[in-house]
Each structure stands twice: as C-alpha cells, then as structure tokens.
Structure 1
Amino acid sequence: MLTLITTGLSFQAGFRAPVSTSAARSMATMDATALKQVPHGGTLINLFSEDKAASKAGVDKTIELTDRQSCDVQLLCNGGFSPLTGFMSEKEYDSVVDTMRLSNNLIFGLPVVMDTDDDSIKEGTKVLMTYKGTDMAVMTVSSKWSPDKPKECLSAYGTATIEHPGVRMVAMERGRTYIGGDVVGIDTPVRDFPCETPAEVRAKLPAGVDVVAFQCRNPVHRAHYELFTR
C-alpha cells in the first residue's frame, strides 16, 4: 500500500504517520457513518399527505399526466428529487440551466419542471394531477413562464440536435410553457415494473460494506450483467 503524507516541503511515499487511539476511533466512526451518505441537500423529502381529502380541497383544475410527467411527480413525492419540494420555479430553472446549481448553490444537473399548453393555468391555480385513474398529487402554481428551450438543451445536454433523446423530449414532448410550485403527494399508481422508493432502497443497503450503484439508460445487456456479478 502506498501512503502519501504531506511535509513542509514535499510528499513522501511509503510512510504512515502514527495515529492516536482517539483519532483512530473518530476515523472509524466517520467511515461507518459515511457508508450511508446523507440525502442530497441533507434531508430525504417525503411530500405525501396524511389527509388526502384535505389536500384536494379547493382544487381549481385537473390535468391528466403523461407517462413522463407521472414519473417526475412520483419522484418528487417520494424524495427521488430531494431536496426539491415541488416543480422548479423560473428562478430555480434559470439557476440550474445557467450554473447546474439551485439558487442556494446546491448542485443539481437538470431542471425538473412541469410543462403545459393550457393557457387557463395561472399563478395561484391549484392543480390536481391525475394519471390513469390515480390522483397523484396537487400543485399550487407559483410560477409560469416561456422557456428558452434551445438554451436549456445546450446547457443540459451540450447539443441542440433533435437526434439527441433529451433534446427531442424537450422540443417535441414538452409543452410551450413551464409551471412551477409546491407539490403535495396523494397516491402512487400501480406500475408494470417494481419501483421502490429511495427510503426503501436505503433501508436495504447492507451495513459495513461499500455499495456501488449503476444505472444505464437502456435495458441491461450481457456486459452489464457481467459487471454486476463478477
């Protein structure tokens, strides 16, 4: 094992500095707590309401979500997009597009927004979001704007060509306006595939070992399988 330590003049190889007993215990504690890192932003968000009827009271409008939108809503509600507590406002969207950070300087790579072509939705509108018979969530709109989609794509994906799947989604699937605001979760639809929450995944992580997470855009290929199992 090669250990590097700093001196006043240079690095030295092959020497391990003595560590006191108390320091060793402190380092061991740090290693143990680091095994399960804190959620991004410090708190694992859970937006689901205990009173579903109260959450839906006073709704002004109901919109049916697309497949993609329903996944975004579910990830917001179960903490998959922690520390977000709703769809990004124009201010947060601009910050992420320009700097890949939220307005509080926390790293966040892609904007999380709700899109619409409905001109009747205004700031202050309380929207019930449904998906295939499930009342998923309620959003109170606090921001509505027309995004600069070419700029968003160049900043997020490094290209504006329609051949890129992310660019194609922004240009051809999303509506012409974005809306942002706090979200209150109501229910989760039954999916054709298992979908555990971040809290459920974290509860399954074994103690005392390193865990490597791997995600690919496409279905798992043989090479991926070999990487997992070897």
Structure 2
Amino acid sequence: MTSNQSLTNSRTEVIEPYGGTLQNLMVPSNSQEAIKQSASKKIDCSDRNACDIELLLIGGFSPLQGFMNQKDYDSVVNSNRTADGKLFGLPIVLDTDREDLKIGDKVLLCYKNQSLAVLTIEDKWLPDKVLEAKGCYGTTSLEHPAVKMIAIERKKFYLAGKLEGLELPKRIFPCKTPSEVRKELPHNQDVVAFQCRNPIHRAHYELFTQALHAENVSKGAVVLVHPTCGPTQQDDIPGSIRFATYERLAAEVKNPMIRWAYLPYSMHMAGPREALQHMIIRRNYGCSHFIIGRDMAGCKSQLTGEDFYGPYDAQEFAKACASELEMQTVPSLNLVYTEEEGYVTADHAQSCGLHIKKLSGTQFRKMLRNNEEIPEWFAFRSVVEVLRGG
C-alpha cells in the first residue's frame, strides 16, 4: 500500500481542501451595502468571468483568495504552479480593456444586472498571450478553442486582487458550494469525482459506477457526478437541456452510491492542464479520487483532424500530480456493449470473442432527429425524451 493509499483509507472525515482552508469570500449581509458603495468603478463581466468569480467566492479555487497577480500568473503559465509552489493548472485572471483602472481602485464586478463582488486591484499588466497559449495549451493555433478565446475574447489587460463577495450568479443549474457538497458526503468513505459536460449515457453510467470497484477505491465509496455548467464548445448541447437530462436521470436511477452536483466552471479544453485544474477543484469539493478519461478535455484541429493532445497525456499528467494533491486517479475503463454479457471491457470482449454493438454520436443524433427508436443499451429513455423535447 502506498503512503497515498494509507492516507486516504485511514481518513475519518472528508478530505481537507487544497491548502488546508476552504476559502469563503462572501461578506456578511449587514456589510454588503457599505462594501458595494466603496467601489468607485464598475466592470460588466462575461460568462467566463462570472464562473471564475463564483468559484473564487465559494472556495472552489482554494487556496486562492482572489484573481492571480502577474507573478503567480507567470509561474502558472510556465510551470503549472503558483509563485509559492502550489500546483495550479490554469491562471485565474480578470480581463479588461479599461485604461483608466489602476492599482488601488475598488471595482464593482457585475453580471447580468447582479452585483457579484468588489475587487481591490492589486496588479495590472499586459499579458503575453502567445506565451500563455503555448504554456497552458501546448499550442498557439487559433483552432484550439481556448487559444482562440484568450486571443479574441479576452481583453487587453489582466487584473489581480482580492474579492469581497456580494452575491452569487443566478443560474439554471443550481450550483451547490463546496461547503454544501461536503456536508452531504460520507465522512469515512472515499469520494470519486466524475467530470462531464454532455448528457450521460449508459456507457458513462457504467463507467462511473464501476469505478467504485477500482483497486484503489475503498468498499462503500460514493461517486460525485459533477458536470460543468459554464460555457463549453459551440457545438455542445445547451446548458438548460443538459441540466434537464441530469435531473431526470438522477430521479430515474435513485442510486444511493451517487451524489449529484453542478460546477460553475467554463471549460478550456486544455487536456493535461485542465485535468490538474479539475482535480484541485474536486478536492475542494471533498473528493479523494478523480476519474480520468481517455483524452480528457481534449480537442482537435478542424483542418487536419489531429488531436492537440495524446490520448493518455491527461491521465499521465494527473497521475504524476496526484500524490502531491493527496488524491488518487481512477483511469476510466474502455467499456463496450456486447450482445452476450452487456457492458464489459474491450479487452475482455476481444479475448472472449463477444459480439460488440456500436452506435456513433453522429448516428445517435440522426436517430434523434428522425424520431427513431434509440436502443436502451446506449441511452437512458429519460435522457432521450429530454433531448427530443429540446
């Protein structure tokens, strides 16, 4: 047994947050108006900004207490660590084109007519976005969605500073805070996190329920199904429909070993770096284990069809970071559906000569559009009903 396994298996409470303290940057209600009035300037935030602000306020990005300064930003870009040496996958910064904002200013951060927080500016700089792209995403190609995002969507300057929280964004997805999720988790069991950004089909369900029986997961563990609800890729299913599929599925399966929550996070499709980012966030939500899928958070060139990351890059990078994070990774099984035995590993199916049934995503969408019968081995009936309605 490794020291990491011993640490996990002897735990009598939920794993402690990264850095030891779960940050809570929300100010008491009786102080909010005074904090709000202290701001002399205002910024209207993007959807991505709002996700970052929310995760900072509720402790999802613990140990951060605000947006990173240039020293931390440079360190994370270059070495996936903050300046004081803590692991971090991607920089957390606030962007602006405002020339008038300066260090020392108090700025009200607004989102869709909500006043989310007051930022006290501690640093402002002109980032080298080419270096950021190469360091964080391994490419400078604008075909990579995050490279395109930082080059075109993100504004000229980056701001840093501590936050004083006033209100959390109102969302279709009701996002529980890390503190709320932790209260619902068993205090003497492993908690396995499953990340997704699309509707859950049968193969996903088999994958994360079978993960509870992995060698490094203790008996009686639970899985936290924790889909992201922030901006994703343009061709992804809209958030309101995804949310409806999760709610219907949770009600249908009623599995006591599954916990459900939603994460206000905007995907970067950053492969290995994103795997690390997700592990840190899930540790803050109380998870001891994290399922790493093949080509997790990967993307590919639309011109050449080539992947920006290798199929196991995220798994290998996350595994290398796991011990320091005091977490464990659970590689996702390569499951296939067979006529004889249902879902089994591809290796088992091949060695036993089983008949594998396949249905591609393109075929599935075509069958949805044509109102054809979807096989239940592929998709839950409740999920199909929601997708057809949407």
Say whether the fold is shared (TM-score over 0.5). Answer: yes
Q: What is the root-mean-square deviation of aligned Cα atoms in Å?
A: 2.0
Equivalent residue of 2:192, what SS?
A: coil
Distance 1:160 1:214 in 2: 29
Report the CA distance between 1:170 and its aligned residue: 1.1
Equivalent residue of 1:213, what SS?
A: strand
1:189 to 169, 176, 183: 169
Matching of residue 205 in structure 1 with residue 179 in structure 2? no
* TM-score normalised by structure 2 residue count: 0.50
Matching of residue 42 in structure 1 with residue 20 in structure 2? yes
User: Structure 2: which 5+ residue stretches go unaligned?
Assistant: 211-390
Equivalent residue of 1:95, what SS?
A: helix
Matching of residue 31 in structure 1 with residue 10 in structure 2? yes
Distance 1:158 1:29 in 2: 33
Q: Which residue of 1 aligns with 2:120?
A: 140
Q: Is the Cα–Cα contact under 8 Å of residues 75 and 82 in structure 2 kept in the other structure? A: yes
1:32 corresponds to which letter in structure 2? R
Equivalent residue of 2:43, what SS?
A: strand
Equivalent residue of 2:49, what SS?
A: helix
Report the CA distance between 1:209 and its aligned residue: 2.3
Distance 1:68 1:220 in 2: 24
Equivalent residue of 2:207, what SS?
A: helix
Distance 1:220 1:180 in 2: 37
Q: 1:140 to 1:132 in 2, by over 3 A?
A: same
Greater CA radius of gyration, 1 or 2?
Answer: 1
1:148-187 deviation digits (Å, cap 9, x = unpaired): 1111111111111111122122111110110111111001
1:75 to 48, 55, 77: 55
Distance 2:81 2:7 in 1: 32
| Moved beyond 3 Å, runs of 4+ | 27-30, 217-222
1:150 corresponds to which letter in structure 2? V
1:136 corresponds to which letter in structure 2? L
Distance 2:200 2:107 in 1: 37
* Aligned 1:32-181 pairs, distance under 5 A: 32-33=11-12, 36-50=14-28, 51-181=31-161
2:208 corresponds to which letter in structure 1? F
Q: 1:137 to 1:29 in 2, by over 3 A?
A: closer
Paired residues, number:
205
Q: Which moved further from structure 2: 52-61 or 122-131? A: 52-61
User: Structure 1: which 5+ residue stretches go unaligned?
Assistant: 5-26
* TM-score normalised by structure 1 residue count: 0.83
Distance 1:127 1:28 in 2: 43
Q: Which has the higher contact order (CA 8 A, sep 6+)?
A: 1
Report the CA distance between 1:29 and its aligned residue: 10
Q: 1:94 to 1:30 in 2, by over 3 A?
A: same
Q: 1:134 to 1:154 in 2, by over 3 A?
A: same
Equivalent residue of 2:163, what SS?
A: strand
Q: Which residue of 1 aligns with 2:232?
A: none
